[in-house]
Structure 1
Amino acid sequence: MMIVSTIHMRKDIRERLTETYPDHEFRFHKQIESAEEDLPKADIILTYGMDLEARHIESAKRLKWINVMSSGVDKLPMDVIKNRDILITNARGIHAIQMAEYTIAMMLQAARQTKTLIHQEREREWFRKLPIRELYGHQVGILGTGAIGSEIAKRTDAFGMTTTGFNRSGKKPDHFDAVHTIDQLPERISELDYLVAVLPRTEETDQLLNEALFSKMKASAVLINIGRGNVIHEEDLLKALQSNALDHAILDVFNEEPLPKDHPFWFDKNITVTPHMAGLSPEYQPRAVDQFDYNMKKFVHGDTDFLNQIDTERGY
């Protein structure tokens, strides 16, 4: 089989793959453009999921499996893939540790007024009467209780916070004090000091967080979005912050990326912008390859119980 990668992989990862699977041919590329000539011979494509277009799938006549080495599959040409009955797997779960650490870091930044302190240091201003608070004893709601949400809950539990999860089923994983279905969020959102969104891009999540919900939040509440940008109605969020419906928003994902330089989020003092980096880690590629290795062994032997197989009808 030929495995074509459009991912700029580290040398040690490339060597690991070729040594592990000497009977298969790997073609490593740094981007999709240079990989195009190999696509007609590809049985498997390794991708981050943002570079494949319908024409690439159509040219890959032998393609049987797309392994997305990230969690996001919303940029894939799903209709073409579905018509070909091509297997899709993603790397759900490999972001959990670093995204949980990012979330705690951002919560502490907001609680301890870190941005203000950095500004004061730059201005050599000695001022101690800042509205700081502890995480201990406060309530956090986590939208999405999968691998990432559960890792966050593990850490908020360690900080002595009350952690409430929201998901489709209402089923309660470990480390959560309570879990409700997402349609109960309007009834519960007023209780939360922090709201963390870890949701995928689907029709159901599109602009889920809007004026109707922002108006019910505590004026001191902090919103953190590390899932997908479509979850937030951007104009409603700006209005909510300007009217003090909530205190601060920390955003790592956006409807348009990179975020345009003239976007109002950059200029609002109550918004912290980070460049879609919550999931970055030096352990990212090794973890992603661990999952590929698990599925590759099953694929070679004709098994079908793959890790993180994507439902092409639901899109995740």
Structure 2
Amino acid sequence: MKIYFTFEPRPDLKEPLIEEFPNIEFVFHSKLDEGQLKDIDVLVTYGEDLNERRIELASNLKWIFVASAGIEKMPHKAIHECGILVSNVRGIHKKPMAESILAHILSLKRALPFIYENQQKGEWNKKAQLSELNGSTALIIGPGAIGSEIGRLLQAFEVYTIGCNRSGEETPFIDETYKIDELMSVLPKAEIVISMLPSTPETRHLLTYDHFKQMREDTIFLNFGRGDVVATDVLVKVLEDKLIRHAVLDVFEIEPLPKDNKLWQLDNVTISPHFSSHSSRYVERSLDIFKPSLRKWLAGDDNLENKMEILRGY
């Protein structure tokens, strides 16, 4: 049996994996080599290196383990037609992403950009608008594993947390939950709005200009889910019209964000290059999901953690 990694883990992670599964042939490359695809049984990938042709070349492929939460760039139909099982690492991003989101919120509440700017200019300037996170209300759109972790950290600051999901069912560390259909009426309740939505046909351009008009003028909007939940031109108009206080964006419709995009020119937006989930422990946490799943799969059990419905996109 052959398992092909299209990235190479650190030696301290790779060597224990090989020792734990001595009867498996592991191949590790820093990028996908099409010559390896013909006889592999399992592919471990970040997902962005797959297309219909490569799925066709991998005629023996039975399972794709995606070391990422998003699978929107993968050839869904081709994978489904070949009956290939897909699972991912949903949930491992929650610690670094929640910390990133909290850092951005605190930075804006406590005027850290103002402090850094004046330090660079050598100015002693106390004329900043400071506010507290304590006592705020935060709305998390799509409160899954990451959203729950964000809720846990926010509640430590005595923030009231609201969630919006498809079902309206309760989520850990969320004080009250509504259905996504009720989003328009919920938006005015919060001065922090966080989108953690995945990219699906249902979520594409879900947030419109009218949604932002429902938000409070002092709202901090953060998008750390997927960039196509709101059209770029809508975001630009929202920020130019100053409907909200500030936007923090880690994801975009087009990545990298083009240099000529108007978002770069605005002073009420923070642009992060889609790396809020990055951490020195990323691959370590990915393998913590992969290894138990591999043991189950070798025993004939395909009910793996984070098994995905590829055509639904999650």
- TM-score range for the pair, normalised by the shorter chain length: over 0.9
Question: Which stretches in structure 1 are left out of the alignment for 5+ residues?
Answer: none
The residue number in structure 2 matching 1:11 is 11
Aligned to 1:180, the other structure's residue is in SS state strand
Question: Which stretches in structure 2 are left out of the alignment for 5+ residues?
Answer: none
Output the CA distance in 1 between the equivalents of 2:8 and 2:194.
31
Superposed CA RMSD in Å reads 0.9
171, 174, 178: which one aligns with 1:173 = 171
How is 1:1-316 mapped onto 2 (pairs within 5 angstroms)? 1-32=1-32, 35-316=33-314
Q: Is contact 1:54–1:77 with CA below 8 Å preserved after alignment?
A: yes
The runs of at least 4 aligned residues of structure 1 exceeding 3 Å deviation read: none
Aligned to 2:100, the other structure's residue is in SS state helix
What TM-score results when the alignment is normalised by the length of structure 1? 0.97
Output the CA distance in 2 between the equivalents of 1:304 and 1:23.
19
Q: Is contact 1:214–1:237 with CA below 8 Å preserved after alignment?
A: no
Aligned to 2:163, the other structure's residue is in SS state strand
Which stretch has the larger CA shift, 36-45 or 3-12?
Answer: 3-12
Q: Write the letter of the residue equivalent to 1:223.
A: F
Q: Is contact 1:214–1:240 with CA below 8 Å preserved after alignment?
A: yes
Deviations 1:243-262 (A, max 9, x none): 12101000001111111122
Q: Write the letter of the residue equivalent to 2:307.
A: Q
Output the CA distance in 1 between the equivalents of 2:256 and 2:206.
22
Q: Is contact 2:63–2:86 with CA below 8 Å preserved after alignment?
A: yes
Output the CA distance in 1 between the equivalents of 2:10 and 2:258.
30
Deviations 1:185-231 (A, max 9, x none): 10010111110111110011111122010111111101001110001
Q: Is contact 1:199–1:227 with CA below 8 Å preserved after alignment?
A: yes
Q: Is contact 2:77–2:311 with CA below 8 Å preserved after alignment?
A: no
Q: Is contact 2:231–2:253 with CA below 8 Å preserved after alignment?
A: no
Q: Write the letter of the residue equivalent to 2:112.
A: T
What TM-score results when the alignment is normalised by the length of structure 2? 0.98
Q: Write the letter of the residue equivalent to 2:27.
A: R
Aligned to 1:266, the other structure's residue is in SS state helix
Q: Percent identity at matched positions?
A: 39
Q: Write the letter of the residue equivalent to 1:303.
A: D
Output the CA distance in 2 between the equivalents of 1:11 and 1:199.
34
Output the CA distance in 1 between the equivalents of 2:34 and 2:19.
25
Aligned to 1:41, the other structure's residue is in SS state coil
Output the CA distance in 1 between the equivalents of 2:39 and 2:101.
42
Q: Is contact 1:295–1:306 with CA below 8 Å preserved after alignment?
A: yes
Q: For residue 313 of structure 1, report the CA deviation from its aligned partner.
A: 2.7
Output the CA distance in 2 between the equivalents of 1:184 and 1:233.
21
Aligned to 1:40, the other structure's residue is in SS state coil
Q: For residue 129 of structure 1, report the CA deviation from its aligned partner.
A: 2.2
Q: Is contact 1:214–1:245 with CA below 8 Å preserved after alignment?
A: yes
